[in-house]
């Protein structure tokens, strides 16, 4: 194992796959010589050259159009959209072309591509640069949707995404870039569609994603220490494909479910998981399913206001204690 930051794990995954497969190419705004606006790609152009690591104009439509064409002609491109909010600029190409063309051509055209993007709040960037948009992506048939919570998962899941035959939207929670953790050395690949049980428990299942995983783990510690409540914490990791098996096994054991998501409350991914669990495990539940979310508002940029609206460990604790009463 090696200690590595979340941002360093991004570079490690891309470098691992570019060394392994010469068809992997990488484009985006300021990702080459500057090393990326979040410094996730430093040194890649120096190692792999200007043909395989290229800066682009400030045009999300051009970036996504280019990787779509590259994938159709046999390459395995990686694109970076600097902020996930900017998917709104190129959503037609993502949702109507990349997601559907393999199906509409009966497999004659495929899109083995990855679109990386910095996602979510907590960094005081305001309403147009802080959105958490996983729910935009997961509603579109034909797209895979991944959001890692740790450096090890960044490296392993991004490697798996690059190898995948289908388009993958890879969301990196920007407030996590500076966090560190143990990462396996050498080749590391984590299969898509497999949730991770980070903490076992018997009284309630807490399901979280990306930055919310840390809040869920902290809440679980508090619940055990102060309330005697044993919480099982599941990191979803992948929304599409979704590992319902792991979630079902946990909820069948604990009989209670709390989801923790950064998405605005209306139509968030937690609502979908809640719906599936209610349909499949209704008679196993001993209480209502509870969702801890961001309110349905644009995120404020003021630090105190942003902290007030985003989910936190204390909000998770309050939700679980109320459920357990």
Write out the H or E segment, with its range, that includes residue 13. helix 6-20
Residue 34: CA count within 13 A, CB half-sphere: 11
At 205, list the tokens: 């299942």
Pairing of strands 180-183, 196-199: unpaired
CA dist 205 and 228 (Å) reads 15
CA dist 325 and 317 (Å) reads 12
- Which of these is catalytic: 129, 188, 215, 227? 129
β-bridge partners, 80: 28, 116
CA 105-97-89 angle, to 5 degrees, is: 175
Token pair 């630090």 in the structure block, residue = 303
129 is known as an active-site residue: yes
Following CA atoms 264, 87, 206, 283 in sequence, which dihedral angle do they give, to the nearest 10 degrees?
A: 80
Residues sharing a CB contact under 8 Å with residue 207, sequence separation 6 or more, in sequence order = 216, 234, 236, 247, 257, 258, 259, 260, 270, 273
Residues with a catalytic annotation lie at 129
């Amino acid at each position: 194992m090696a200690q590595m930051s979340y941002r360093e794990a991004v570079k490690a995954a891309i470098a691992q796959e570019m060394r392994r497969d010469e068809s992997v190419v990488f484009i985006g705004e300021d990702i080459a010589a500057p090393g990326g606006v979040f410094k996730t790609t430093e040194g890649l152009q120096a190692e792999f050259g200007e043909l395989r690591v290229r800066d682009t104009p400030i045009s999300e439509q051009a970036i996504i159009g280019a990787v779509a064409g590259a994938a159709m002609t046999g390459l395995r491109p990686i694109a970076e959209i600097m902020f996930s909010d900017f998917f709104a600029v190129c959503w037609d190409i993502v949702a109507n072309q990349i997601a559907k063309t393999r199906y509409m051509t009966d497999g004659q055209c495929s899109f083995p591509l990855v679109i990386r993007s910095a996602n979510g709040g907590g960094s005081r960037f305001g309403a147009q640069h802080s959105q958490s948009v996983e729910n935009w992506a997961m509603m579109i048939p034909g797209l895979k949707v991944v959001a890692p919570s740790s450096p090890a998962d960044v490296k392993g899941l991004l490697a798996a995404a690059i190898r995948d035959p289908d388009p993958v939207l890879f969301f990196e929670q920007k407030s996590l870039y500076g966090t560190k953790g143990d990462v396996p050395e050498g080749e590391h690949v984590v299969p898509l569609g497999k949730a991770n049980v980070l903490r076992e428990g018997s009284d309630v299942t807490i399901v979280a994603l990306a930055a919310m995983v840390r809040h869920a783990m902290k809440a679980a510690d508090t619940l055990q220490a102060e309330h005697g409540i044993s919480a099982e914490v599941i990191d979803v990791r992948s929304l599409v494909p979704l590992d319902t098996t792991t979630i079902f096994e946990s909820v069948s054991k604990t009989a209670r479910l709390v989801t923790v998501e950064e998405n605005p409350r209306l139509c968030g991914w937690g609502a979908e998981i809640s719906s599936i669990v209610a349909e499949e495990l209704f008679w196993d539940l001993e209480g209502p399913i509870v969702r801890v979310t961001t309110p349905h508002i644009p995120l404020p940029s003021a630090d105190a206001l942003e902290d007030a609206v985003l989910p936190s460990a204390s909000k998770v604790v309050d939700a679980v204690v109320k459920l357990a009463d």
